[in-house]
Amino acid sequence: MTTGAWICLLSPLLGALLITLGGTRLSRRGAAYLSTASCFVAFAGALVSFAALLGKSGGDRHHVSTAWTWIQAGTYRSGFEVLVDPLSVMMMLIVSGVGALIVAYSIGYMDGDGEERRYFAYMSLFVFSMLLLVQGGNLILLLAGWGMVGLSSYLLIGFWHERPSAIAAAKKAFVMNAIGDAAMALALFLLIQKTGTLSFGALDAVHSSSVANLVALGLLGGAIAKSAQLPLHTWLPDAMEGPTPVSALIHAATMVTAGVYLIVRTHVIFEQAPKVQDLAAGLGAATLLLAGLIALVQVDIKRVIAYSTMSQIGYMFVGVGVGAYANGMFHLMTHAFFKALLFMAAGMVIHALAGEQDMRRMGGLRELMPRVRLAFLIGSLALVGIFPFAGFFSKDSILAAAMDRGAYGYILWVAGLAGTFLTGLYTFRMFYLVFGGERGAFVREHFHELGRGLVVVSMAVPVAVLTVLSVIGGWLQWAPFWHPVETWLQTVAEPLVSPTNWQEAVSSVVALALGLAGMGVAWMVYGARRWAVPSAPFWQRTLERKFYFDELYDTVFYRPAVWTAHALANWVERPLILGSGPEIGTETRDLGGLFARLQTGMIRTYALAIASSLAVLAIVFVAVK
Amino acid sequence: MLLASAGNVLVWAVWMGAAFACLGSGIAVVSFSNPFFSALALIGNLASLAVLYLLLSAEFVAAAQVLVYGGAVMVMFLFVIGYIGPRQDSPWAGGPSWQVVGAVLAAGALFVEIVVVVGLKASGSLAHQAKIDSSFGSPSQIGRLFLTDHLLAFEVTSIVLLVAAVGGVILGHHSRRESAAGARALGVRETRPGQ
Amino acid sequence: MLVRSVSERHAPANESWKPMLGPSVAWYLCVAAFLFATGALGVLLRRNPLIVLLSLEIMLNGGNLALIGYARHLGDGAGQIFAIAVMAIAASEVVVGLGLVVAMNRKHLTLDVDRLNTLRG
A489-499, pLDDT tens digit by residue? 887 878 887 77
Set of chain C residues whose Cβ sits within 8 Å of the Cβ of B22: 31, 35
Alpha carbons A229 and A289: distance in angstroms, whole number: 11
- A167-217 pLDDT, tens per residue? 999 999 999 999 999 999 999 998 888 887 788 877 777 778 888 899 999
The chain B residue lying nearest A607, using CA atoms, is: B103
Residue in C113, C120, C121 closest to A604 by CB:
C113
With 60 as the cut, is the pLDDT of residue A481 above it?
A: yes
Residues A545 and A551 sit within 8 Å (Cβ to Cβ): yes
Measured CA to CA, the distance from residue B32 to residue B21 in angstroms comes to 16
Q: Is the pLDDT of residue A220 over 80?
A: yes
| C93, burial (CB in 10 Å: exposed 0-12, middle 13-18, buried 19+) | middle
User: Closest by alpha carbon to A16, among A26, A6, A1?
Assistant: A26
Q: Decide if C22 and B12 are in contact by the 8 Å CB cutoff.
A: yes
Among A148, A93, A158, which residue's Cα sits nearest to residue A119?
A: A158
Radius of gyration of chain A (CA): 30
Contact: A601, C43; criterion CB under 8 Å: no
- Interface check B100 vs C, CB under 8 A: yes
CB neighbours (10 Å) of residue A470? 26
A494-515 pLDDT per residue, tens: 888 777 788 888 888 888 898 9
Chain A contact present for C116, CB below 8 A: yes
Question: At B38, which helix (H) or strand (E)?
Answer: helix B35-55
B71 touches C at CB < 8 Å: no
CB A45 within 8 A of CB A8: yes
Here the contacts of B50-53 (C-beta below 8 Å, separation 24 or greater) are B51/B14, B51/B17, B51/B18, B52/B15, B52/B18, B52/B19, B52/B22, B52/C28, B52/C31, B52/C65, B52/C68, B53/C65, B53/C68
Q: Which of B95, B102, B117 sits opposite A612 (nearest CB)?
A: B102
**How confident is the model over A420-447, as a mean pLDDT?**
86
Reported ipTM = 0.82
Q: Give pLDDT, residue C81.
A: 94
Which chain A residues touch C47 with a CB distance below 8 Å?
604
| Domain at B1-87: CATH code | 1.20.120.1200
By the CB < 8 Å criterion, does B48 face chain C?
A: no
Contacts of C62 in chain A (CB under 8 A): none
- Closest Cα of chain B to A612: distance in Å? 5
User: Is the CB of residue A298 less than 8 Å from the CB of residue A238?
Assistant: no
Q: Nearest-CA residue of chain A relative to B108?
A: A615
Residues of C in contact with B122 (CB under 8 A): 24, 26
Subunits next to C (3 or more Cβ pairs <8 Å) are A, B
The reported pLDDT for the residue numbered C12 is 41
How far out from the chain centre does Cα C2 lie?
26
* Nearest neighbour of B171 by CB, restricted to C47, C90, C96: C96
Q: Shortest Cα distance from C119 to chain B (angstroms)?
A: 17
What's the whole-number mean pLDDT along residues A376-381?
92
pLDDT of residue A142: 92
- Are B69 and C87 in contact, with CB atoms under 8 Å apart? yes
- Asked if A209 reaches chain B (Cβ–Cβ under 8 Å), the answer is no
Residue C120 distance to chain B (closest CA, Å): 16
pTM of the model: 0.65
The whole-angstrom separation of Cα A123 and Cα A12 is: 9
Which among A119, A344, A125 is positioned nearest to A244, based on CA atoms? Answer: A344
CB A266 within 8 A of CB A207: no
User: A438 and A308 in contact (C-beta within 8 Å)?
Assistant: no
pLDDT confidence of residue B191: 53
Average pLDDT, chain A: 87
CB B174 within 8 A of CB B191: no
Q: Three-class SS of residue B86?
A: coil
**Which of A596, A598, A602 lies nearest to residue C114, judging by beta carbons?**
A602
Burial class (CB within 10 angstroms; exposed 0-12, middle 13-18, buried 19+) of A577: exposed
Q: CB distance A602–C119 less than 8 Å? A: no
Q: Are B103 and C62 in contact (CB under 8 A)?
A: no
Chains that touch B (3 or more CB pairs under 8 A): A, C
The Cα of A611 is separated from the nearest Cα of chain C by a number of Å equal to 8
Task: Verify whether the Cβ–Cβ distance C44 to A596 is below 8 Å.
Answer: no
pLDDT confidence tier of residue A225, bands split at 50, 70 and 90? very high
> Mutate which of B105, B113, B115 to disrupt the A interface (most A C-beta within 10 Å)?
B113
Asked whether B11 and B55 are in contact (CB, 8 A), the reply is yes
Q: What is the mean pLDDT of residues A128-156?
A: 92
pLDDT at residue C7, as a whole number: 41
Task: Give the number of A-B residue pairs with CB atoms closer than 8 Å.
Answer: 28
The region of weakest confidence among A251-265, A381-395, A521-535, A611-625 is A521-535
DSSP A170-205: HHHHHHHHHHHHHHHHHHHHHHHHHHS--BGGGGTS
What number of other Cβ atoms are within 10 A of residue A575's Cβ?
10
Highest mean pLDDT among A82-86, A96-100, A398-402: A96-100
**% pLDDT > 70, chain A:** 100
Collapsing DSSP states into helix, strand and coil, what is residue A76? strand
Measuring CA to CA, which residue among A445, A299, A432 is closest to residue A365? A432
Overall average pLDDT of the A571-587 stretch: 80
Are the beta carbons of B109 and A613 closer than 8 angstroms?
A: no
- Optimal mutation site among C100, C110, C120, interface A, most CBs of chain A within 10 A: C120
Judging contacts by C-beta atoms under 8 Å, the chain C residues touching residue A607 are 43-44
Q: Where are the domains of chain B?
A: 1-87, 138-188
B152 touches chain C (CB under 8 A): no
Instruction: Determine the average pLDDT of the residues in A567-574.
Output: 85
Three-state secondary-structure class, residue C57: helix
CA-nearest residue of chain C to A606?
C44
Interchain CB contact of B167 with C (< 8 Å): yes
Cβ(B72)–Cβ(A579) under 8 Å?
A: no
Please give the residue that has the higher pLDDT: either A446 or C32.
C32
Output the DSSP codes for A337-369.
HHHHHHHHHHHHHHHHTTT--BGGG----TTTS
Contact C80, B134 (CB under 8 A): no
Below-70 pLDDT ranges, chain B: 1-6, 87-95, 127, 175-195
For residue A533, give the amino acid letter.
Answer: V
Residues in chain A: 625
Asked if B113 and A618 come within 8 Å (Cβ–Cβ), the reply is: yes
**pLDDT-derived band of residue C2, with 50, 70 and 90 as boundaries?**
very low
Candidate from A605, A608, A615 with C-beta closest to B109: A615
CA dihedral sign, ordered C52, C55, C61, C67: negative
Give Cα separations from A45 to A40, A84, A329, A592 (angstroms).
9, 12, 21, 71
> pLDDT per residue over C9-63, tens digit each?
444 443 456 667 778 888 899 999 999 999 999 999 888 889 999 999 999 999 9
Comparing A599 with A146, the larger pLDDT belongs to A146
* C43 at A interface, C-beta within 8 A: yes
Distance from A604 to chain C by nearest Cα, in Å? 5
| Residues in CB range of A220: below 8 A, 6 or more apart | A183, A263, A270, A276, A279, A280
Residue C121 confidence (pLDDT): 58
Report the pLDDT value the prediction gives residue A397, as an integer from 0 to 100.
86
Q: Which residues does residue A77 pair with via DSSP β-bridges, in sequence order?
A: A72
The pLDDT value recorded for residue C5 is 43
**A vs C: CB pairs below 8 A:** 33
Q: How far apart are CA A392 and CA A512, in angstroms?
A: 8
Asked if B109 lies within 8 A of A622 by C-beta distance, the reply is no
Contact A599 C43 (CB under 8 A): no
CA–centroid distance for A403 within its chain: 29
Rounded to a whole number of angstroms, the distance between the first and last alpha carbons of chain C is 58
Q: What's the one-letter identity of residue A618? A: A
Note the Cα A302 to chain centre separation in Å: 16
Per-residue model confidence (pLDDT) at position C11 = 41
Q: Which of A600, A608, A614, A619 to mutate to test the interface with B (most CBs of B within 10 A)?
A: A608
pLDDT of B185: 62
> Which chains would you list as touching A if contact means 3+ CB atom pairs under 8 Å?
B, C
Helix (H, G, I), strand (E, B), or coil: what is residue A303? helix
User: Does C120 contact chain B (CB < 8 Å)?
Assistant: no
* Residue contact A612–B106, C-beta within 8 A: yes
Q: pLDDT for C75-115, tens place per residue?
A: 888 999 999 999 999 999 999 999 999 888 888 888 888 87
Would you call C44 and A604 a contact, using CB atoms and an 8 Å cutoff?
Answer: yes
How many helices and strands (H and E) does chain C possess?
A: 4, 1
pLDDT at A199: 80
Q: Where are the domains of chain A?
A: 341-544, 551-624
Distance from CA of C33 to the nearest CA of B (A): 6
Output phi, psi for A512, to 5 deg. -60, -45
CATH for C24-106, options being 1.10.287.3510, 1.10.760.10, 1.25.60.10, 2.120.10.80: 1.10.287.3510
Shortest CA distance to A217 belongs to which of A267, A273, A144, A260?
A: A273
The pLDDT of residue B180 is 59
Per-residue pLDDT, A495: 81
The string of pLDDT tens digits covering residues A261-297 is 999 999 888 888 889 999 999 999 999 999 999 998 8
